[in-house]
Copies of this chain bind each other. A is one copy, B any other.
Amino acid sequence: MTGPRLTPLAASLPATVPFVGPETQERQRGRPFAARVGANESGFGPAPSVVQAIRNAAPDAWMYGDPESHDLRHALAAHHGIAPETIVVGEGIDGLLGYLVRLLVGPGDSVVTSDGAYPTFNYHVAGFGGTLHKVPYRDDHEDPEALVVRAAETGAKLIYLSNPDNPMGTWHDAETIARTIAAVPEGCVLLLDEAYVEFAPDGTAPPIDPSDARVIRMRTFSKAHGLAGMRIGYAIGHPELILAFNKVRNHFGMSRLSQQAALASLADQAHLAGTLQRVASARSRIAEIGAANGLRALPSATNFVTLDCGRDGEHARALLAALVARDVFVRMPFVAPEDRCIRISCAPDAELDIVAEALRKALAELR
């Protein structure tokens, strides 16, 4: 190839993929999964009212979506009791993570995260040449104090913290998060990923205060709203930082139907409440399935349950492979010692029945 000359940064990046999709695995296996409980999607689905909204909007697919996502931003603003100027909508939290990192992080800039936290964030930091500093988990929780200390030590421009946490499902209370925000060093921003916050107990999310430039929060319609396939995330932050997204974002990147779906889903709080109940039941069920097989469930404030397999990463990876071989799509933490666990997404009972049976047989096989 004589034509393209990649930038030195681009040339240095691996052509890796943060997550292999279940469809890729199905193609490699040559057969579909029987239970799709690996990506923390919501098997309880979008609201029927949302399905109807998508169907109604389908003939309008010839029109570009509003590049400002005006109606959705205004509905979100009303929902949260904040100004629309403090919200930016994007192509999932993944897309917004990329834009935020691009705005803040250049070659050599320091960024702090937890070792084993969301790999797609790390992918974006590497992609813009940032230097990633990692802090270990503490007792299966992200360690906010250590994150802030490391940020001060390294002069970091950005800290990543998810609350509740993925992949462990654990969480901190609002007071701890508020203390963390207050301790963010001068010139640094805390990126608070709240993708799972709807599933968490009251008192997990601190009050939203977009006048505080030390924190930007990200939320999504992919989890509790059951719309992962529509790619809708949003960030809440100081209006100056939110405005800066307009410098770099794909202005016409939001699907028109996705904006409609999100609006409909936000309006259907009854369905959301039902989903939260079903997820709570499924969490209990997964914990029971674990217990029946001698695996301890970590407490979860998310729509998944992390099961401690009681040994090391090698054992958990073998168990995961055995589950995949039994047609259960499931994932696990990447880093020790959290990689002693596997992570199972909440799902309807029929799928959890399959998980229960597969787990029993897989463990028997490994013994």
Q: Which residues of A contact B (CB under 8 A)?
A: 1-10, 13-19, 21, 23-24, 27, 36, 39, 41-46, 50-51, 54-55, 58-68, 70, 91-92, 94-95, 98, 102-106, 109, 120, 127, 157, 184, 186-189, 212-215, 222, 226-231, 238, 240-241, 243-244, 246-248, 250-258, 261
User: Which of chain B's residues has its CB closest to A228's CB?
Assistant: B64
Residues on the B chain within 8 Å of A246, using CB: 15-17
Inter-chain contact A61/B241, CB cutoff 8 Å: no
Residues on the B chain within 8 Å of A17, using CB: 67, 246, 251
Residues on the B chain within 8 Å of A3, using CB: 184, 187-189, 212-215, 238, 241
Inter-chain contact B51/A7, CB cutoff 8 Å: no
Residues on the B chain within 8 Å of A254, using CB: 231
**Closest CB of chain B to A41's CB: distance in Å?**
5
- A59 touches which one: B2, B19, B51, B66 (CB < 8 A)? B51
Inter-chain contact B10/A247, CB cutoff 8 Å: yes
Q: How far is the CA of A64 from the CA of B46 in the complex (A)?
A: 13
**Closest CB of chain B to A365's CB: distance in Å?**
29
Residues on the B chain within 8 Å of A21, using CB: 64, 66-68, 252
Inter-chain contact B255/A230, CB cutoff 8 Å: yes
Query: 5 tightest CB-CB pairs across the interface, nearest first?
Result: A229-B256, A3-B213, A1-B213, A13-B247, A7-B106
User: Which of chain B's residues has its CB closest to A67's CB?
Assistant: B21
Inter-chain contact A104/B7, CB cutoff 8 Å: yes
Inter-chain contact B1/A229, CB cutoff 8 Å: no
- Offer 8 A-B interface pairs, CB within 8 angstroms, sorted by A: A3-B189, A3-B241, A7-B105, A17-B251, A21-B64, A24-B67, A54-B257, A229-B256
Inter-chain contact B230/A257, CB cutoff 8 Å: yes
Chief secondary structure at chain A's binding surface = loop
Asked, given contacts A9-B106, A253-B91, whether A43 binds B62 with beta carbons under 8 Å apart, the answer is yes
Residues on the B chain within 8 Å of A1, using CB: 213, 238, 240-241
Q: How far is the CA of A332 from the CA of B2 in the complex (A)?
A: 38
Residues on the B chain within 8 Å of A212, using CB: 3
Most buried by B among A23, A214, A244: A23
User: Which of chain B's residues has its CB closest to A61's CB?
Assistant: B229
Residues on the B chain within 8 Å of A127, using CB: 247-248
User: Which of chain B's residues has its CB closest to A97's CB?
Assistant: B250
Q: How far is the CA of A24 from the CA of B73 in the complex (A)?
A: 13
Asked, given contacts A3-B188, A189-B3, A241-B1, whether A15 binds B64 with beta carbons under 8 Å apart, the answer is no
Inter-chain contact A68/B24, CB cutoff 8 Å: yes
Inter-chain contact B42/A94, CB cutoff 8 Å: no
Q: How far is the CA of A220 from the CA of B296 in the complex (A)?
A: 50
Inter-chain contact A91/B248, CB cutoff 8 Å: no
Most buried by B among A51, A240, A255, A261: A255
Q: How far is the CA of A10 from the CA of B105 in the complex (A)?
A: 9
Q: How far is the CA of A187 from the CA of B41 in the complex (A)?
A: 44
Q: How far is the CA of A114 from the CA of B104 in the complex (A)?
A: 31
Residues on the B chain within 8 Å of A13, using CB: 247-248
Residues on the B chain within 8 Å of A9, using CB: 106
Inter-chain contact B59/A46, CB cutoff 8 Å: yes
Q: How far is the CA of A111 from the CA of B190 in the complex (A)?
A: 36
Residues on the B chain within 8 Å of A66, using CB: 21, 23-24
**Closest CB of chain B to A1's CB: distance in Å?**
4
Residues on the B chain within 8 Å of A227, using CB: 61-62
